[in-house]
A and B are shown apart, each in its own frame.
Chain A
Amino acid sequence: NAGVMQNPRHLVRRRGQEARLRCSPMKGHSHVYWYRQLPEEGLKFMVYLQKENIIDESGMPKERFSAEFPKEGPSILRIQQVVRGDSAAYFCASSPPGDWEKLFFGSGTQLSVL
């Protein structure tokens, strides 16, 4: 059973471009979480999704950021019109239905905005 897969591993964007980060949860997992980590900081919760539903987006910036977890395919974290302050490591985690307690993390996407 493959782990949580995130791609790309590294993403470079210029200011004003769009960034799309993908996360494929572990097989059978229906809950996905996105976190952002700045250097020397802990992980900041962004959004919690189940298939086709956003459960908690209290950590998402109000503008430029959106997330989805469609019925088919990976979860996508989309950042429009990126700015330098968006540079960070973005981690995705998943958990199975009925066992929401324990999270399995991907290796992250390092976003660099030039």
Chain B
Amino acid sequence: SQQGEEDPQALSIQEGENATMNCSYKTSINNLQWYRQNSGRGLVHLILIRSNEREKHSGRLRVTLDTSKKSSSLLITASRAADTASYFCAPNQAGTALIFGKGTTLSVSS
């Protein structure tokens, strides 16, 4: 198992703006996942991108993966106040438990 490191630690934007979060990791992976955590709640799976994929979309979410740089980014377009949460990446190797970093705390103000 390995832990991803999210950057920045905190991000504050206005509604309607885009939010970009980055994730770096150290060794080869099978896939990389992004999760969201609202305050006091469990994590919710957002999107999974496999090591042979470069970009993936899901609604207002866009994830990229650069395996040569061992990095990923999560873009949330046209953000809403409801997007306020902490976001975690989890680089995943086969058969191992997911390890989470400290996350990026996103605040979207109206």
Chain B residues closer than 8 Å to A48, beta-carbon distance: 97
| B43–A45 touching, CB < 8 Å | no
Q: How large is the interface on B (under 10, 10 to 19, 20 to 34, 35 or more residues)?
A: 20 to 34
The distance in angstroms between the C-alpha atoms of A56 and B102, with both chains bound, is: 21
Count contacts on A: residues with CB < 8 A to the other chain: 24
Q: Check: A79 CB closer than 8 A to any chain B CB.
A: no
Known: A42-B100, A100-B95. 16 other contacts (CB 8 A): A42-B102, A45-B99, A91-B42, A91-B43, A93-B42, A101-B30, A101-B31, A101-B48, A102-B33, A102-B48, A103-B43, A103-B45, A105-B42, A107-B41, A108-B40, A108-B41
Can you report 26 A-B residue pairs in the complex whose CB atoms are below 8 A from each other?
Answer: A4-B42, A33-B98, A35-B100, A42-B100, A42-B101, A43-B88, A43-B100, A44-B100, A45-B97, A45-B98, A45-B99, A48-B97, A56-B1, A56-B96, A89-B40, A93-B42, A100-B95, A101-B30, A101-B31, A102-B45, A103-B43, A104-B45, A105-B42, A105-B43, A106-B42, A108-B42
